[in-house]
Chains A and B, each alone.
Chain A
């Protein structure tokens, strides 16, 4: 899964292709790395924060020395005038009156010093670096409680990785321009997730990604337009890993977050295109607000035309922005600019599926554009449709209704012809989609609502069989009568094993997909009432995989036919012998294997 970025957030942390992970070493060098154009307050604020934090580490240690100096008295002369002095960066407590060293080495910096001071009981004020691994280990061995806990403190200090994670969360929030309330929620969610048992013993990589997932989750809760691809790009993380951590986070913490809708992403995606007069020539520049409006309308149309559902949003947005840009001023230079050239000019990466999405949106516009009165008779194709996109989008509701009436309506045949056509379509469906000889058919009872029209129930039966069928096979409309009572289906037989229904009597037994076609098709058509008026409405837009079904391998008809199998049949030796090699074959196989091994050994020796 590739990741695409909304907006220019990626460039604010990367510098012209150089990628740096958010770690402690590189964080301090951001100012040097970020280019002049991309420095923003968020990044500067972060680096200042980090600098301030490192300076504050030494302050508590210094305060400790001063405190101890005040409490002690000189063992030589008894004077209490003891000052803190450092000798070659080693902190010492020195008596002013007699000059003797009261104590030294309170703050250790080397491993051996830590070990000495921890094990010796002479200096009770000896401290150790709480954040060092050895310090923790030494502390662990000495101060383990009866219950086995290393510390019974409830207000434990956060570990290094947690602090880094929190800093990472803050950085991401600044880059994404989150308001302070959202940032606080992100930090608290990260703390909660970090301490959850599911994320305690995981790898560092997962913990890094966890920070991004928390930011994403909170952004969605506050309806902030941010995508998973953006955050995985900012973190330089594997998108698959990010997806796994995100889903685990949602599941373990039980946090709900509505997915970001594509309409929310339109504005942020449009703003990433550099189409101002300063960046591009006048004939190519465009106002952001107009671009956003036109792109929003196109995205809505794409949603109606089944282009958006189940697809990644970024390629659709890129295609919509490009079409909007073309249609707002359809001059010759713009119309001659291809999608890839447009993205290069605007400084935005081009996702690969964007070309397909563009073609689908253009086809949808062509379908509606044919209904415009002033375009009747005009040949409307993908190249020309951008000029009329504005008019089409303005009147799309009316055009959709007209398209339904003119392109979608067709008279249905009488009941004798319908089964044959349905059978034909269903056979095609069986060839296209039949995977096995076993099929489980559920026959349900659908109660009819008062006032509901039985429009496409015949089509419903055909569509139930026409899983990969084409448009002409027909697809049932949504105007099926609703099951006012709930229970719809009952289990029927599969390959001879009958599972009797509990509520509704089973309607027919099914042995195979092909047999099903032959028995169910006509039967259903015979029982289902024809829609009133004899007209079947076909939708203008259908999901692309229904319009262009993928080619599936046609299985052998004998295999697809269901056989009565119980699982306890006798197994004859002749069936098994085909799976056992003869002695000659074994000898030949062994010889070939040895020769292959020798050749491989020679090749490896040669290399």
Chain B
């Protein structure tokens, strides 16, 4: 291996979803009344609260379970969740705690420096890969052990969904040689 031949692949994390529990009952009506940047979804029994920094959207249920989405890193997700818990404390729910925090999903985008022939990629990676052009323009590739799902587009763009950032990197590492073999060679 020669260091001069290194190729940089950018993986841009676009979304991190996390959950945590407050361990107390929350009055959604009170949150909707006293909180700003709040949307009360009465039909679904939840409240949506949006924070500016970091830019996240939280779904709050009366049971105390909260899902935060929109962060761009795991640390940012944790910070946003803590800010949200602090906000709920300020709203009057003094017994709110920040417990069972967990990152459940990370979405990242990576672009390969070549185009990919999807029928060939699907054929050589069955049954993990499936490609239905009538349903979706990308080929779907699942890696079971790390629970990662990749959407491989013909342009070379790959969307990766995994439980955490480490698995994202592992998924791209495992997939690169597979897509490299199916790259489009221009004569």
For B97, list chain A residues within 8 Å (CB): none
A513 pairs with B12, CB closer than 8 A:
yes
Chain A nearest CB: distance from B106 CB in Å?
10
Tell me, yes or no, whether A486 is within 8 Å of chain B by CB: yes
For A485, list chain B residues within 8 Å (CB): 1
Chain A nearest CB: distance from B36 CB in Å?
5
A478 and B75 contact, Cβ closer than 8 Å, known pairs A435-B14, A576-B90: no
For B5, list chain A residues within 8 Å (CB): 445-448, 454, 457, 481, 528
Tell me, yes or no, whether A497 is within 8 Å of chain B by CB: yes
Q: Mark B19-57, 1 if CB is under 8 A from A, else 0.
A: 000000000000001111100000000000101111100
A443 pairs with B73, CB closer than 8 A:
no
Q: How far is the CA of A439 from the CA of B77 in the complex (A)?
A: 15
Q: How far is the CA of A401 from the CA of B112 in the complex (A)?
A: 25
For B110, list chain A residues within 8 Å (CB): 442
For B13, list chain A residues within 8 Å (CB): 436, 438-440, 494
B186 pairs with A457, CB closer than 8 A:
no
Q: How far is the CA of A579 from the CA of B11 in the complex (A)?
A: 33
B169 pairs with A442, CB closer than 8 A:
yes
Chain A nearest CB: distance from B180 CB in Å?
6
**Which of A136-144, A187-195, A323-331, A463-471 forms part of the interface with chain B?**
A463-471
A504 pairs with B1, CB closer than 8 A:
yes
For A477, list chain B residues within 8 Å (CB): 114, 185-186
A575 and B74 contact, Cβ closer than 8 Å, known pairs A227-B134, A446-B7, A488-B177: no
For B52, list chain A residues within 8 Å (CB): 578
Q: Which residues of A407-459 have CB atoms within 8 Å of chain B's CB atoms?
A: 433-448, 454, 457, 459
Interface size on B, residues (CB 8 A): 83
A579 pairs with B55, CB closer than 8 A:
no
Tell me, yes or no, whether A381 is within 8 Å of chain B by CB: no
A440 pairs with B12, CB closer than 8 A:
yes
For B91, list chain A residues within 8 Å (CB): 580
Tell me, yes or no, whether B2 is within 8 Å of chain A by CB: yes
Q: Mark B83-114, 1 if CB is under 8 A from A, else 0.
A: 10011001100000000000000001111111
Chain B nearest CB: distance from A536 CB in Å?
12
Q: How far is the CA of A306 from the CA of B154 in the complex (A)?
A: 8
Chain B nearest CB: distance from A75 CB in Å?
68
Tell me, yes or no, whether B143 is within 8 Å of chain A by CB: no
Report which of A435, A445, A566 forms a contact with B1, defined as CB distance below 8 A: A445
B33 pairs with A228, CB closer than 8 A:
no
Q: How far is the CA of A228 from the CA of B49 in the complex (A)?
A: 41
Tell me, yes or no, whether A522 is within 8 Å of chain B by CB: no
Q: Mark B170-187, 1 if CB is under 8 A from A, else 0.
A: 101100110011011111
Chain A nearest CB: distance from B40 CB in Å?
10
List 3 A-B pairs, minimum CB-CB distance, nearest first. Answer: A310-B137, A436-B72, A567-B78
Instruction: List chain B positions with a Cβ less than 8 A from chain A.
Output: 1-14, 33-37, 49, 51-55, 72-79, 82-83, 86-87, 90-91, 108-115, 117-119, 122-123, 126-127, 130-135, 137-138, 153-157, 165-166, 168-170, 172-173, 176-177, 180-181, 183-187
Show 18 A/B contacts (Cβ-Cβ < 8 Å), sorted by A: A247-B132, A310-B118, A310-B153, A311-B133, A404-B186, A441-B10, A441-B11, A444-B9, A459-B113, A467-B10, A480-B114, A482-B180, A496-B75, A499-B169, A520-B8, A529-B4, A539-B186, A542-B115
